[in-house]
Amino acid sequence: KGSSASTVDGIAEQVPSWISLDEVRRLTKLENYPPQEAFDLLAKAANEENYLNKASFFRAFNDIVEECGGCDNDDDQDRLVLVLNKLFDLFDTDKNGVVDFQEMASGLSVLCGGTRDDKLANAFSLYDYDGDGFITLDEMTHYLSCVFKVMFQTQPSTKEKMGGVSAEALAYATAQQVFLDFDINQDGKLSFEEFKEWYTQENN
């Protein structure tokens, strides 16, 4: 955990001033896609073990951007390359040149467009890592740490507002609070209805 937190810190220090969540959404064109549609396109680039290397990651995004009419100009093209490099490095925490598709999809979900219902259904399926129809505290912590990594990377001020804590520490504290407030029957897991209650309140 410590090493990935310091990796995030190291990357955050090098973030150019023009990077923002909206700008990254625009450059990657993910704002034009509901989450499931975007992930279907990215999933095609993953190998049988559900990993993407940098070349397949870039190819997948190149297809997404081209499908939306390409980059507006050379500056945007340069910025996109920089953003994609940073996003890939963010999830390649052990620096072995590959990223886990599910972790990456979890983090990138914050950049996607679509309706609230699209996002709700997709978020639940991403949080529910083992597909059993419920979300455990560990699953929620894991998902939120992926989301907060992208938030910290694309909006460095977010980290300052949170008192400089790591994405992992913030994810753990947030998940604990969510379970305290929304695990109504206190069975240690969130049903879809309990999750929907939290997600809807969080996004209002």
Please write the tens of the pLDDT for every residue from 147-188. Answer: 999 988 888 788 888 888 999 999 999 999 999 999 999 999
Distance from C-alpha of 110 to C-alpha of 52, rounded to nearest angstrom:
19
Residue 8 region by backbone torsions, left for phi larger than 0, else alpha for psi between -120 and 50, else beta = alpha
Cα-based distances in Å from 82 to 78, 89, 97, 176, 200 = 6, 11, 16, 34, 33
Phi, psi of 93 (to 5 degrees): -70, -30
pLDDT per position as a tens digit, 68-127: 999 999 999 999 999 999 999 989 988 899 999 888 888 898 899 988 888 888 888 888
Distance from C-alpha of 152 to C-alpha of 143, rounded to nearest angstrom:
14
Residues with Cβ within 8 Å of residue 79, at least 6 apart in sequence: 18, 23, 27
> What is the value of pTM for the model shown?
0.79
Distance from C-alpha of 165 to C-alpha of 159, rounded to nearest angstrom:
7
